[in-house]
Amino acid sequence: MHSVRASALALAFTAAVGFPALAQSGGISGDNVKIGVLTDMSGQFSHESGEGAVTAVRMAVEDFGGKVLGKPIEVVVADHQNKPDVALAIARKWFELENVDMIANLINSSIALNVSNLAKDKNRIAIINGSGASRLTGDACTPNSVHYAYDTYALARGTGAALMKAGGTSWFFLTADYAFGHALEADTSAVVKGLAGC
């Protein structure tokens, strides 16, 4: 349910803020507003995004009246299969050939990092939820992307600081070998070292 509300909030925010700005600058790609939901439909994150994310965006479009500045909103969907190269190929095709104005969801940090950078290059919008690497709001933040919900910095500050204060001053990491895992280890290590842990 959180994912549904979060996706609906993202769409409402984008429709209210992002699309009118794009439309006034001539930035909407065609006679309709196209939103691509690029998500995990079949893999490890499908239970927290997938069909739920698609349904949330469609519900938000309906709640918003189905139009932005008089232009109808169309939703397209693809499964990125948790593969950054697949996600980037889909995003590139959507932006360059299919006139997609915004890509939403982007669960999986490595995918979100790649697609948000492409959105910046193509002057389109990327709305990221579910991906937690702190780089998305740090050095990889772009003027074309919105990253909301949690990130690894928040997880590290909250949990890392609390455990340090409870006496857990020696840390060992078993790190998931992907963008989110590396970001969580780096952010937590910084908190631990900052509080004189090791």
The interaxial angle of helices 109-122 and 84-97, nearest 10 deg, is: 20
Dihedral angle over CA of 23, 27, 32, 37, nearest 10? -110
Q: Which candidate, 119, 108, 116, places its Cα nearest to that of 137?
A: 116
Q: How far apart are the C-alpha atoms of 88 and 81, rounded to whole Å? A: 11
Residues of the chain with pLDDT under 50: 1-9, 12-13, 15-17, 23-25
Tokens in use for 142?
Answer: 């772009």
Stated pTM of the model: 0.78
pLDDT at 4: 47
Please give the Cα distance from 17 to 136 (Å, whole number). 20
Cβ pair 7, 129 in contact under 8 A: yes
| Nearest to 134, CA basis, from 85, 80, 190 | 190
pLDDT tens per residue, range 96-145 = 999 999 999 999 999 999 999 999 999 999 999 888 888 898 899 999 99
The pLDDT value recorded for residue 1 is 40
